[in-house]
Amino acid sequence: MVRKTWLLIFCTLPLLLSSGCLGVTSLDDRAIVELLAVDWDGSEYEIQLSLFQAQENVTAQAGGETVQNLISGRGNTMAQAMESASSQAGKELFFANNELILLGEQAAGEQLNFLLTYLNANPQIRPSVRLLITQGAARDFLQEQASDQLAKNLLGTLENAQEEGLLSSAQLIDVLRQLEGPKGCAPIPIVGSGQEQLEQVVLATPQGIALVLQQREAYGASWLTDRVRARLLSVTDGSGEPVTLRASAGKGRIHLTETDPLSYTLELSVTLRVEESMAPIEPEEVPDLEHTVEQAIEQEVQHTLQATTLDRGLDLVGLSAALRQQNPSYYRDHREELGDLLQQAQIQVQVSARLERVGMQASQ
């Protein structure tokens, strides 16, 4: 019986292993996409694909200089544009390694909802692929960047900016989730030509770009929509000396007051550690430092809420989800006019900061 059991297991293994033999495409016939850029000119899509190439090929072809391996395609639909690019490359497009998608400004402004739906429905594209909007056409941005490491460099920059709390992850899955529900909006970073740093974030809605956030609002948006890992904050201690703190926080929690469905309390818990200070932090200084940080973050968040939710009725933080969860009957009755109602909302921000590690390095 034991022999039959093992034989049965071994019989199943070919089923598992042979799945890789289905629809075999050799590596030479695959165009491994590292970066997808999409533009829309009002009637047609144009896509640019940056393809992976082995390092020796890159340098050999360009006489020692590194160049991108770009192909493009056009079509009335995304499927046609993809097909056109595939024909140009003479290879089958392969997206499983694609971690970044650039959306031209016009494409993001006019076709965002359709593009997100298309990308989400494509089984090869990862739900965790990052989105980045370019100022102007994505094609122009790509052509200005000569590096064959563009996708890698941009991803690194995005990750750093996320670590610093300047922008949210802007992964496809997160953007789609944030756009769900009435007045949903998602922060997506925007990059201009020649920019090394990402300094701007736009607030996208299913209809397109609703608002360009200033840097302070972008920081506020990160506190509200994502986990902040390593935001550096500069404050002064009791003796007026500068202290640099590294702040990290989970996503804020929203509570509704029981009596008023449009009165919210937003709780944010921030952990701090001293990154740099002129002198050791004394224990009695800790509460003041924590309070200073709490006030700074509260102001940043309030400023962002004012610019997005209270001025424009955009639900950046997920107030409608909280309302649906905590007061479902009110949500059901007022779902349609939620945008207007959110503009009248009372939002109290409560930040609690805790200095976890006082250990510091004294500057000279």
- CA triplet 234, 237, 242: central angle to 5 degrees? 40
Distant-in-sequence, close-in-space partners of 245: CB < 8 Å, separation ≥ 6: 232, 233, 234, 235, 272, 273, 274, 275, 289, 293, 355
CB 162 within 8 A of CB 130: no
Residues 57-76 that bind another protein (CB under 8 A): none
CB 168 within 8 A of CB 225: yes
User: Which member of 42, 63, 64, 123 binds another protein (CB under 8 A)?
Assistant: 123
Q: Residue 172 and residue 312: Cα distance in Å, rounded?
A: 24
254 binds another protein (CB under 8 A): yes
87 binds another protein (CB under 8 A): no
User: Which member of 30, 74, 152, 177 binds another protein (CB under 8 A)?
Assistant: 177
Residue number, 104 or 261, with CB nearest to another protein:
261
Beta strand 242-249 with 263-277 is: antiparallel
Residues 10-49 that bind another protein (CB under 8 A): 11-12, 14-16, 18-19, 21-23
156 binds another protein (CB under 8 A): no
176 binds another protein (CB under 8 A): yes
Q: Residue 151 and residue 238: Cα distance in Å, rounded?
A: 45
Q: How many residues bind another protein (CB under 8 A)?
A: 39
Instruction: Write phi, then psi, for 70 (nearest 5 degrees).
Output: -105, 140
2 binds another protein (CB under 8 A): yes
x-marked contacts with another protein along 290-329 as a string, rule CB under 8 A:
----------------------------x--xx-xx--x-
Instruction: Write phi, then psi, for 213 (nearest 5 degrees).
Output: -85, 140
Residue number, 19 or 344, with CB nearest to another protein:
19
229 binds another protein (CB under 8 A): no
Residue number, 67 or 155, with CB nearest to another protein:
155
The minimum distance between CB 161 and another protein, in angstroms, equals: 18
Residue number, 129 or 245, with CB nearest to another protein:
129
The minimum distance between CB 127 and another protein, in angstroms, equals: 5
User: Which member of 30, 152, 227, 334 binds another protein (CB under 8 A)?
Assistant: 227
The residue ranges that bind another protein (CB under 8 A) are 1-2, 4-5, 7-9, 11-12, 14-16, 18-19, 21-23, 120, 123-124, 126-128, 173, 176-177, 180-181, 227, 251, 253-254, 318, 321-322, 324-325, 328, 332
